[in-house]
Structure 1
Amino acid sequence: MRELHSSMGARDREGDFNIHSMFSRDQGSLRRLLDSPGLLDWGLYTLLAGVDLNYLDAVKALMDQHQVPSRTQGVMRVLSLQSPAQLRPHRSPPGCLIQPLRPEHAELVNGNWKYGGDADSYNSVRRYITHLPSLCVVPEDGSAAGSPVSWVLLYPHSALGLLYTLPEYRRRGYARALVSRFSEMLFEEGYPVYCFVEEGNSASCSLFQSMGFGDKESYRSVWFEFNGQMNVC
């Protein structure tokens, strides 16, 4: 088993590739932007995080023009709450503590993350926990020996993410309680409340929609990579 570690100079997922997020009102301007001299290094692995699905053909044509291998990693729904009034009230389930994650929980979170499992992703998770808000559920009955059984973190771009509940603790309202509490915290600090849910993940989509999150059916955000075959999001 590969030993996981973290240090100030340790490599993480974000340090392995270039990430670019963009917004455009039409595919012509998007293509011109991406083809601006010096904007992209066509020889490096790069992730375009947030291409409008409606403009994806223009991006693919640009890849063909530069003769670089590329692929779509995933198509995401962007669900958000526009105001605290949209958040549907929810009571925390009894018998549990809701508290921040601690750095020593990074291995547990990383081991249950779809895009985790190695030392680089571990370092990313540890940095998320150390420098950004997070919440977890710890049962008060001692059944988990004080360890988290459900958690949610915040990505550096302020989206809710890594929401997960251990299988044996599901259907107890833990995920709903965490999202509700976290959303309230973000609104109080003046931050947007949103998340990316992969197309086809009906369970997560239903959870967020039941809490008042909404999205536009006409918009999907595509995570698109070129010059590599890495499983990142």
Structure 2
Amino acid sequence: MARSLARSELEQLVDSLVLSWDDMASHTKAMLYCTVRHYLDGKIPWKITFEVDRWPDYTAVLWTHDKEETSVLAFEEGSSAVFLHWTSEDCLRQLLISTSVDWTRPVLLVAFPLSGLSILREHLENQGLPLPAAEDMFPCDTAYYLHKTCPSLEKVDRTDDKVTVAPLQPEHSHLVSSTWRHGGTPESEERTHYHITTFPSACVYDQDGNPVSWILLNYYGSQGLGYTLPDNRGRGYFQLASKYLISTCLQKGYLPFLFIEDYNEPSRIIHRKLGYSWNEAGRCAYIRLNKNKFKSS
């Protein structure tokens, strides 16, 4: 069986995770680092189980929230969010077999590297479980900001100087949730409120103090829920918000990264201009397993 780490061992785990500024960092390593760090700092209020193939010289890690918790990704209510980090196919294969995760339940694999997809399918076939259909997989590229400084905010092109940039406020939870394509539910609004009040965010406010463009940071370290209100697009506001959040992340020692879904070409254009880059090694997908058992989709 996989070994579940005690809290004292999590300190050793996070100390072993070194993120690289010179090469494409592993997004699974970055997510693991942020999750463990935030968990130890008390910023994650639900129970998370961290399992390794062996200890202390681990080669694969799986972490998931308590099965009784509402999904940390509100658009998959009733599922367990599962994350995986590994260094070889054999490591992944062994951990999938030995983990305590019940693979017959609804599971959402978060940003699962596509390099491990054949091993995942092999595991599911051996368990007699259905393979994920194409519509249950949401492929993405992992975009990294591999610079130690952020370009000056003054260089962002925009049509006026009457806007201000600052973090989002709790009272904006409903607006942010309602504009997210997976949002608009009480659970989504609750989770949005949690992220706004706990982690860094950036928002461009118009001259009347109304939010017009914003971006949040997920508890596992990636940027997400970026959006600009339709009437305010084409003015450089999202770039302004992004640079603000990049600067905040760099000040806190985070390596800025995000996931760009395949359909979202406008996001690719904007983030390339901002200085983000990606390659084939960062290809991943959000994958739903046992879709017929999900409460909602």
Among candidates 90, 93, 97, match of residue 31 of structure 1: 93
Answer whether contact 2:200 2:248 (CA < 8 A) is retained. no
Answer whether contact 1:70 1:224 (CA < 8 A) is retained. no
| TM-score in terms of structure 1 length | 0.84
Partner AA of 1:187 in structure 2 = L
- Secondary structure at 2:86's aligned position in 1? coil
Answer whether contact 1:152 1:178 (CA < 8 A) is retained. yes
| Equivalent residues, number | 218
Question: 1:5 corresponds to which residue?
Answer: none
Structure with greater helix share of residues: 2
Question: 2:284 corresponds to which residue?
Answer: 221
Question: 1:124 corresponds to which residue?
Answer: 191
Question: 2:121 corresponds to which residue?
Answer: 60
The farther-off stretch of 165-174 and 51-60 is 51-60
- Post-superposition Cα deviations, 1:67-113, rounded to whole Å, max 9, x if no partner, equal 3335243111101112224x444425411011211111111101100
- Secondary structure at 2:210's aligned position in 1? coil
Distance across 2 between alignment mates of 1:105 and 1:37: 39
Distance across 2 between alignment mates of 1:99 and 1:137: 7
Distance across 2 between alignment mates of 1:178 and 1:53: 30
- Secondary structure at 1:35's aligned position in 2? helix
Among candidates 20, 23, 41, match of residue 102 of structure 2: 41
Distance across 1 between alignment mates of 2:278 and 2:216: 21
Question: 2:230 corresponds to which residue?
Answer: 167
Distance across 2 between alignment mates of 1:70 and 1:111: 32
- Post-superposition Cα deviations, 1:179-215, rounded to whole Å, max 9, x if no partner, equal 1111011111111111111113111011111111111
| TM-score in terms of structure 2 length | 0.67
Q: State whether structure 2 residue 258 is matched by structure 1 residue 199.
A: no
Question: 1:3 corresponds to which residue?
Answer: none
Among the aligned pairs, what percent are the same residue? 26
Distance across 1 between alignment mates of 2:190 and 2:204: 22
- Secondary structure at 1:171's aligned position in 2? coil
- Secondary structure at 2:143's aligned position in 1? strand
Distance across 2 between alignment mates of 1:60 and 1:171: 42
- Post-superposition Cα deviations, 1:106-164, rounded to whole Å, max 9, x if no partner, equal 11101100211111111111111111111211111x3xxx3211111010011111110
Answer whether contact 2:216 2:226 (CA < 8 A) is retained. yes
Cα gap change, 1:68/1:120 in structure 2, threshold over 3 Å: closer, same or farther? Answer: farther
The farther-off stretch of 19-28 and 180-189 is 19-28
Distance across 2 between alignment mates of 1:32 and 1:119: 39
Shift of 1:218: 3.9
Structure number with greater CO (CA < 8 Å, separation at least 6) is: 1
Cα gap change, 1:153/1:24 in structure 2, threshold over 3 Å: closer, same or farther? Answer: same
Q: Which runs of 5+ in 1 are unaligned?
A: 1-7
Answer whether contact 2:71 2:81 (CA < 8 A) is retained. no
Q: State whether structure 2 residue 140 is matched by structure 1 residue 73.
A: no
Q: Which runs of 5+ in 2 are unaligned?
A: 1-44, 47-68
Partner AA of 2:146 in structure 1 = Q
Shift of 1:48: 1.5
Distance across 2 between alignment mates of 1:69 and 1:89: 50
Distance across 2 between alignment mates of 1:130 and 1:12: 19
Distance across 2 between alignment mates of 1:33 and 1:80: 27
| Pairing of 1:184-195 with structure 2 (within 5 A) | 184-195=247-258
